[in-house]
Amino acid sequence: MLDVVDLVALRPGGQKLVYAGSSQGVPVVLKVISLMPPHQALVLERARREVLLLASYNDRRIVSVRSGLAVLGDPAAPHGVAWLEEKLDGADLGELLGPQWAPSAVAEFIEGLAGGLTLLHEADVVHRDLSPGNVRLRADGTWTLMDPGLAKHLRDLSITGVFQPGTPGYRSPEHVPGGTPGTHSDVFCVGILAFAALTGELPIDPSGDERSYFARLRETQCASVSARRADTPTSLVELVDGCLDRQPARRFLDAMELRNAAAQVREDLQR
């Protein structure tokens, strides 16, 4: 398949299968998506957009593709699609969360992640799934965005269909049914990741049934990060709390605005 050898499953199960392998002597990641009825057309369109989106960038802050989209089975009635991506070194954010990070490291993280996210926002694309498994710290210290399969292209019609985007615990208030995720929603999700890095906790509890979780997302104003970690510098508190305001208009407008604010905080903390 796509001339990949030595396949090892990285993320088995579910609709998307992820493997590590080698193509022409170069380490790669193979992604395979099953086209299951009755939503084959939606899933196929998402995969097509994901590959086209990644192929439009040549920047270490966004994972790059190594092939086009390959149709599996009968082209008239495919049972799946697949493509290759670069195999990143380093570690996923999920492997790094747990112990509380130093405030300076959190400011650097926000700035780095917002830098990659700015590339998407400048193209009117919202990632919509900024969870720990979709963010990776490369060995050279670059924060890299991955897996924009649920991205919303603001210039195009939405293809959300019956699927609710996002990962429980890492959704914004606009991720609830009837909401409209925008650039401000990605900003909220960066705030969740920063809050988790600082405190080891999530700002909004995702436990219980989905209906209760959605209600908390709609109605709860996140506690200030200073309430969970008193030694957080004021400038960083304002940065994280500014991401997590329940009202979209009170957050940073987009990733560029957030990146600029984070850069200033990082500089302040380094003095």
Active site residues: 129
Q: Tokens 């609709």 identify what position?
A: 15
CB count in 10 Å sphere of residue 128: 23
Helix axes 183-199, 234-243, angle to 10 degrees: 140
Helix intervals (H) in the chain: 40-55, 93-96, 103-122, 183-199, 210-219, 225-228, 234-243, 255-270
135/45 Cα distance (integer angstroms): 23
> Strand 135-137's sheet: what is its strand order?
91-92, 135-137, 143-145
124/110 Cα distance (integer angstroms): 20
* Residue count (the chain): 271
CB count in 10 Å sphere of residue 200: 14
CB 150 within 8 A of CB 128: yes
Q: End-to-end alpha-carbon separation of the chain, Å?
A: 53
**Pairing status of strand 70-72 against strand 80-86:** antiparallel
Round the CA-based radius of gyration of the chain to a whole number and report it: 19
**Pairing status of strand 16-23 against strand 91-92:** unpaired
